[in-house]
Structure 1
């Protein structure tokens, strides 16, 4: 059980009150809270690029961020962006992403993150659902936007830099208040299009809480959250959370590899590391990855297997602590690192509720006690009252996560399974509907279902069960064709690793696909 002294608990309560008051205020100004109030000479981010054998690092201070974002806000305002408008950002981990987010916030507009692995149809769907007319991107992604009508595109590099240099800075930021929307992030669902999650300014209280109590990011840490900011964990705790607390994060503009990760840890002296279990599993397969001494290591996105915890104690000289959350809430059940709320690690457990959240098990599901959770900020999906209502109990007292689990006598939670068909691969949540919607467009496909299969490295991988049209035979060539169709029609990371050609799909009398039966098939 969590051991918390009365003095520590008093300090926790006071800290929570300060965060809730600051970020929930009626005049809360996101740009001020994220950048303007911090020491302008302090480093906010260190960007890392790989140039041949060299690591090229550039420190980005809060003062530089403030100046650039004011000027870029002026450029966006000249394009007609104002309070309540939405702006898409299709970009990897680079400085222009942070400048764009802050510039959008200064105008009281709303930032829509777009994952760089998405193909054009997935990007267009999110822009259309969010009603975005301006998209900021980078050169490697610009071609994906060329066929989308009705949008204005700004490309990082010469065009972006010119706009920043030539535009008059805005003199005042728009304060949308704690309930005003800062981010519109889309999450995959099971049987329909991705759902929009409006993230209000007051969610920064919860993000700060996790940075402090969950990850224990200290002022003298070299913190590195390696997650992609196109998704919740990387955006909430790699961009917003560090800025809210005035901490530094590293932004690596390159793909993952164990050798590169080791090099960055050594050369930059990383002390506090956060990543998906897939990253740790990949590192654990490299015998040479050893000799590090991290102060903190954390994992999120899917359950962490005990073998990684055993490996970490020797390879990085610390435990890897598993944390649990969702796009709709951020992290809220954790094996917390901060000494005021830390408890002994039990392998297989997600930990205990984060300060500001109260949880329980309702109808077998992990659930949030709404009235007893002041840090909870999610109130509903964008334009989807039916899907929102399905998440809350009839009296509104509990929010049902859709994840089944159990709680032991010490109050620790254990994940059992998803209560729906969302696939969690390498920390990314993929709705089968997205992939099925692409596969069904192939003229040879009559019916299709997509499920997740356990995978040692990625946690889960996608498999497709395809019913072919009359007269069409399954083949290796057709399998490759269908895989490529998903890569180009939805996302490069979400293609089915295996395609099974079957005579029929198991369905309920009402016609719904019974994916759980397919998951059990060998």
Structure 2
């Protein structure tokens, strides 16, 4: 293996080539008889998909998508759980040189419709249980709805197709798009305005490979399982894409999260390399008394929200290995962490996000000036784009103002929106989000979305949403609500407001706490002073 800097350069040369083809890189070049995906059900039964089967099935589905009018550069969304169907569909999209738009299955119809409209998706492939969310309505008029493909045995609506229908088409050849072409389109959350579109170019595969190899240390003989949902960046980048890129087998559990089931999967399939959000580890800690002897994990990784030192120490006591915390965003992938690979590992310090990965330079800038802060001085976490060959993000699609806020005027620094410190050894320490995104259970929720939903209730005059610390999920969504004149707050009204948010956004976005207040704290210019809201944020 080449030294890390040389290895990063080799990957960049391969994935940023004009002849780069995603289907070849993630599937066709690997041994046909090697297992690509193991799909595990809640009863622990499983099915394997080899790379040869993935190539054959995705080629046929690509032909079917082409018959629906999908062309290179078009967007195709998925609204489905992880597993074989997702892998086949994603590879089919990439085989056509099209762009995959993963959608989170817990999203409500309005959130799904927003992303379908913004992406201009030509088609959406969904699980049968998700089909009702795509029915025409005020959020998604019938005349602008994409073609719908379902995963079950028969179409559920007139005009629908099934994956089985698409697989009867003439196989499509793999398209070479080159390193600059997008292959994924994700949506990043922020407090100001709707979610922002992030298009991921093929050359970003180098950054994903860096984390898979150096950050996670996934080896050829590992049984790898990333438990993150494939509708979010950590799950799609490193539960779907990077294992396929490296030619590794990965597990996909088709069941909702349950700590007991998680332990059963770890034991039954002898998982050796496991990645999940801190919420998963906290839930495991609440139920795990004695580690089953069948659990043989070699590496544990975490991402999605700050990982407290007590969880790191607990894991080391119980599993015999600590949880390695990692740091990243939709706009970057993973750029820093407590690396697991021996070639780049540094002594683990619980509470630290670790150091920059190979190919990245991550530091802390002073609070106002775009110069590096001294060790121990609080400031803004930033990426030095000039010294980060793995950096691929150039801006949000259709959002020049949001893009401008993410970069320094000279474009040298990418500003993550996080604050923290670094020590003399270059270790990073997270302090807070400077854009107030709420991190709950590994999911990012924008106050803007929650507030927009609450304001649709006729009794709500104004509102402000924020996060409050929680030992299990990291943060709980809370909202201060000012009611219209003459309306009194009640438990019944609070529950109605929660249900409204759940219906408009997602189940995990419903405020766990609703406070009825007379007014919101504001500055002289009328801006809400979020730091004065009830239940101030106190992240460690």
TM class, shorter-length: over 0.9
Alpha-carbon shift at residue 293 of structure 1 (Å) = 3.4
Q: Which residue of 1 aligns with 2:372?
A: none
| Cα separation, 2, equivalents of 1:519 and 1:105 | 47
Q: Which residue of 2 aligns with 1:36?
A: 28
- Corresponding residue of 1:482: 497
Q: Name the structure 1 match of 2:450.
A: 435
> Cα 1:253–1:471, aligned 2, differ >3 Å: closer, same or farther?
same
1: distance between equivalents of 2:461 and 2:365?
39
Structure 2 residue 474 is matched with structure 1 residue 459:
yes
Q: Which moved more, 1:97-106 or 1:116-125?
A: 97-106
Shift of 1:287: 3.5
CA distance 1:520–1:195, shift in 2 (3 Å):
same
Stretch moving more, 211-220 or 291-300: 291-300
In structure 2, the partner of 1:494 is 509
Query: Are the aligned partners of 1:121 and 1:489 in contact in 2 as well (CA < 8 Å)?
Result: yes
Please say if residues 178 and 200 of structure 1, whose CA atoms lie closer than 8 Å, have aligned partners that are also in contact: yes
In structure 2, the residue matched to 1:327 is 330
- Across the aligned residues of Structure 1 and Structure 2, the Cα RMSD in angstroms comes to 1.3
Q: Distance in 2 between matches of 1:359 and 1:473?
A: 50
Aligned partner of 1:16 in structure 2 is 8
Confirm whether residue 84 of structure 1 aligns to residue 85 of structure 2.
no
Give the Cα separation in 2 of the matches to 1:339 and 1:123: 42
> SS of the counterpart of 1:219?
coil
Distance 2:382 2:421 in 1: 11
Partner of 1:337: 340
Q: Is the 8 A contact 1:71 1:169 kept in 2?
A: yes
Q: Give the aligned partner of residue 95 of structure 1.
A: 84
Q: How does 1:78-157 map to 2 (within 5 A)?
A: 78-147=67-136, 148=140, 149=142, 150-157=145-152
1:360 equivalent in alignment to 2:363? yes
How far off its partner does 1:197 sit? 0.4
Task: Answer yes or no: is the 8 Å Cα contact 1:87–1:135 preserved in 2.
Answer: yes
Aligned-residue offset at 1:161: 4.2
**1-structure distance, mates of 2:114, 2:17:** 33
Q: Residues 289 and 205 (structure 1 numbering): CA distance in 2 closer, same or farther, change over 3 Å?
A: farther
Contact 2:270 2:296 in 1 (8 A): no
Deviation at 1:492, TM superposition (A): 1.0
For 1:107 and 1:165, the matched residues in 2 are separated by 14
Partner of 2:369: none
Number of residue pairs aligned between Structure 1 and Structure 2:
510
Contact 2:64 2:167 in 1 (8 A): no
Is the 1:293–1:317 contact (alpha carbons within 8 Å) kept by the matching residues of 2? Answer: no
CA distance in 1, matches of 2:380, 2:536: 25
Task: Name the SS for the 2:515 alignment partner.
Answer: strand
Task: Give, in whole Å, the separation in 1 of the partners of 2:13 and 2:422.
Answer: 31
Q: Distance in 1 between matches of 2:91 and 2:397?
A: 22
Deviation at 1:14, TM superposition (A): 2.3
Cα deviation, residue 496, structure 1:
0.2
Deviation at 1:286, TM superposition (A): 1.3
Per the alignment, in what secondary structure is the counterpart of residue 198 of structure 1?
strand
Tell me which stretches of 4 or more aligned residues in structure 1 moved more than 6 Å. none
Give the unaligned 5+ runs of structure 2. 155-161, 367-378
**Please, what TM-score do these two structures have when normalized by structure 1?**
0.96
The 3-state SS of whatever aligns with 1:466 is: strand
Contact 1:68 1:164 in 2 (8 A): no
Find out whether 1:424 has 2:439 as its counterpart: yes
- Give the structure-2-normalised TM-score: 0.93
Q: Work out whether residues 65 and 166 of structure 2, in 8 Å CA contact, stay in contact via their aligned partners in 1.
A: no
Is 1:380 aligned with 2:395?
yes
- Alpha-carbon offset, residue 509 of structure 1: 2.8
- Distance, in Å, in 1 between the alignment partners of 2:163 and 2:464 is 46
Equivalent in 403, 407, 421 of residue 422 of structure 2: 407
Give the corresponding residue for 1:3: none
Cα separation, partners in 2 of 1:289 and 1:234, compared to 1, 3 Å: farther
Deviation at 1:520, TM superposition (A): 4.8
